Structure 1
């Protein structure tokens, strides 16, 4: 199976039999990163839950390798367009539905599900939130998620701002629940150096930050200089995806393709790494990144963590979110021996080390499940936001009422041959999109600058 292939249906292989009734939690995700967040959130709500994965087919549909890297194995899974999932009985019969989606996809799902579940006596508790820190498009992203039963905020500051915005637009601020990023809800493991292995520095790469080829070459050059200066250290470039794969954001200049283009010799102690970030952190002594949420995972474990300032501290980079953390440093400073020390107060305010970040969420879910849930009511409506909403919903195959547009399937195609043909067509279209995004579009831009 090709790397860009969508995930096939996986039949259930286990049945958990805890001494209490576990929840059935469905996660609707559109990328590997969002699946990781949704799956970890589901396990945080109920460690013994039955977990179903529903993947939206699209540009960032995770490959088998990406899902294996995440390490969260669902009890059942399916990949399809949103219009094919709306009337899926198993989705409607879940106890909890996690929308692990981009804002636009979350809004479309809320509209489509509101239509599909109209008149049902029972429906899942629907919740959504943010995969990482919220440092841009705060109002836009929040209002696209407004209408879910619960909207999760990863920090106390986020929760306060979410409630302020929702109140200002006439939406319900009581839907906001303060939690933490799922990997911050896991048990803390204190960091201690391991003399049995080389001191290991990990650079956590991001698909779109920084964006330009020159900036990314600069980071690689700085990592090379660090490796040359500290020949007894190991330096790893932690990559999110292989060439041809996609995450939520398009990566035009993959680091693995730029590494051979460094002008100097690449020392043997500088290498790339794939795999689960948590497993890599088990052997990390210093983590460096521009603004990846891997920094929070590292800080949760007590690992020295550097938020790189090589390109300044700027909102488009996202590193401004870490102001006051004590973690800001440049690659050059790290090479000279600087070890950042995180501020304990900043860590507490930003959800690191929270003793029970899901206590309130479990309580709210329990309360909602004991009541007759009102129909879903997305904040945006066609009669009010008529210049915006129809085009947004159309991108996901829905009209302004949440109905599938003509020609869009509402149920899975029947017959193994037809399913195979459609799967192959989707794979081909996805591969063509990725080829255009990673090769053709950058080339056209370069030609335009001649």
Structure 2
């Protein structure tokens, strides 16, 4: 029966990193009418977040359950068998995993499949076309701004695929009180990213300039906001953690590292500086003065090319002299931040589309763009990397096996984070 006839909408969120869990959980709450608290799952893999990372997202008191893709599909199938089927599934995953789960959900043969929602956790500055086509087939592909919605539709229409699933919304974690200066407070926050910039030399440069800025302005608190601790992973691999690089510098007392929820850090921020972090959009939404660095160039690899036309591009030399850029209001509106319309209204179209789909007697078949006909030399490899065997019996995991698995995961992370980069550097000698 249509989900609209039920008392509440049951939603599941599957994420593959801490940032995508934050996006997925908040998105689920904003787009599902009369929804109960979404059931959370995190995909077991390279970027599986730790309990600390999940807690610091601040989105739920209940930790999501760690699963494989096949285990998630079995849960969806078994929930329907119990009469507790999910009405909406939010896939907060990389594109290849989304395409695999689309296939898996279609192959379950459910009496009524859930509405499938996906999107992006922040600024889309790389692999736009491939990422979008891998996500095609979902019922709703959320765009975080008018700018993104136009780009997404252009890609789908350009390859002859339906652009109907594209729905303009906003980043679900914007909000918080507008910036209010406080007498005696002067806090600069640098929002770090795990892979931007990527090289050791460039990351060391940024750190030297940040520490140098702190020395030039001893009355200013300079905070380096970090997303993960050494050994933890986020959406992207971090080969050269700032925590290690800072040990090589004699940082002044007014410079320090901070962790925690970005919104809470922004509560006491007077200037947000970054290369291209989505934190810039969070800050701009709250009217926190914001600067995007050009010191390493304005390059697609850095993602700061996304801010061309924003009025925010600047350098450490200018910041050292006290010059703070002013944002372009037209650019802000197109990016879905600091817009004239109320923030909650940004999700009206998404809520309406989900509600309309839930009210249908039956949902249409999942019809992705990438199929055995359109991409016979590409799709099999994508599906193989995310192999899903729902029919295989789920192994019973003893306490010892669970301990061994966690230890193996730790060893794997250690290898990816520390050993592999050393081997690569030795190979370059």
Give the TM-score taking structure 2 as reference length: 0.92
Residue equivalent to 1:204: 191
- Give yes or no for contact 1:84–1:411 (8 Å, CA) kept in 2: no
Give the secondary structure class of the aligned counterpart of 2:223: strand
Residue equivalent to 1:109: 101
Residue equivalent to 1:36: 22
Deviation string 1:26-78 (CA, Å, 9 cap, x unpaired) is 11100001001111112222586321101110011111000110011165732
**Equivalent runs, 1:247-286 vs 2, <5 Å:** 247-262=234-249, 265-286=250-271
Q: CA RMSD in A?
A: 1.9
Residue equivalent to 1:426: 405
Deviation at 1:395, TM superposition (A): 1.6
**Alpha-carbon separation, structure 2, partners of 1:163 and 1:328:** 28
Distance 1:113 1:425, change over 3 A: farther
Specify which of 210, 213, 220 is matched with residue 223 of structure 1.
210
Residue equivalent to 1:377: 367
Residue equivalent to 2:353: 364
Residue equivalent to 2:180: 192
Deviation string 1:92-127 (CA, Å, 9 cap, x unpaired) is 8122111000001101111111101x2x33222111
Distance 1:162 1:85, change over 3 A: same
Give the secondary structure class of the aligned counterpart of 1:288: strand
**Alpha-carbon separation, structure 1, partners of 2:119 and 2:283:** 21
Residue equivalent to 1:174: 164
- Give yes or no for contact 1:32–1:67 (8 Å, CA) kept in 2: yes
- Give yes or no for contact 2:30–2:351 (8 Å, CA) kept in 1: no
User: Is the aligned partner of 1:124 residue 2:114?
Assistant: yes
User: Is the aligned partner of 1:98 residue 2:84?
Assistant: no
Aligned length: 413
- Give yes or no for contact 2:194–2:238 (8 Å, CA) kept in 1: yes
**Does 310-319 or 80-89 show the bigger shift?**
80-89
**Equivalent runs, 1:35-114 vs 2, <5 Å:** 35-46=21-32, 49-73=36-60, 77-88=64-75, 89-90=78-79, 93-114=85-106
Deviation string 1:203-232 (CA, Å, 9 cap, x unpaired) is 000000001111111111111111111111
**Alpha-carbon separation, structure 2, partners of 1:74 and 1:388:** 40
**Does 315-324 or 378-387 show the bigger shift?**
378-387
**Alpha-carbon separation, structure 2, partners of 1:104 and 1:322:** 27
- Give yes or no for contact 1:83–1:396 (8 Å, CA) kept in 2: no
Residue equivalent to 1:13: none
Unaligned runs of 5+ in 1: 1-19, 399-403
Distance 1:232 1:76, change over 3 A: closer
- Give yes or no for contact 1:22–1:50 (8 Å, CA) kept in 2: no
**Alpha-carbon separation, structure 2, partners of 1:419 and 1:370:** 43
Give the secondary structure class of the aligned counterpart of 2:64: strand
**Does 46-55 or 220-229 show the bigger shift?**
46-55
**Alpha-carbon separation, structure 1, partners of 2:182 and 2:289:** 14
Give the TM-score taking structure 1 as reference length: 0.88
Distance 1:59 1:413, change over 3 A: same
Residue equivalent to 2:313: 328
**Alpha-carbon separation, structure 2, partners of 1:420 and 1:395:** 28
Deviation at 1:411, TM superposition (A): 5.3
Give the secondary structure class of the aligned counterpart of 1:203: strand
- Give yes or no for contact 1:203–1:236 (8 Å, CA) kept in 2: yes
Specify which of 380, 384, 394 is matched with residue 384 of structure 2.
394
Deviation at 1:412, TM superposition (A): 4.1
Specify which of 395, 413, 432 is matched with residue 395 of structure 2.
413
User: Is the aligned partner of 1:291 residue 2:276?
Assistant: yes
**Alpha-carbon separation, structure 1, partners of 2:321 and 2:165:** 48
Deviation at 1:344, TM superposition (A): 1.1
Deviation at 1:432, TM superposition (A): 2.6
Distance 1:384 1:347, change over 3 A: closer
Deviation string 1:239-278 (CA, Å, 9 cap, x unpaired) is 110010000110000000110112xx21001000000000
Deviation string 1:338-369 (CA, Å, 9 cap, x unpaired) is 11211111100111134211001111111101
**Alpha-carbon separation, structure 1, partners of 2:79 and 2:43:** 16
**Alpha-carbon separation, structure 2, partners of 1:269 and 1:115:** 57
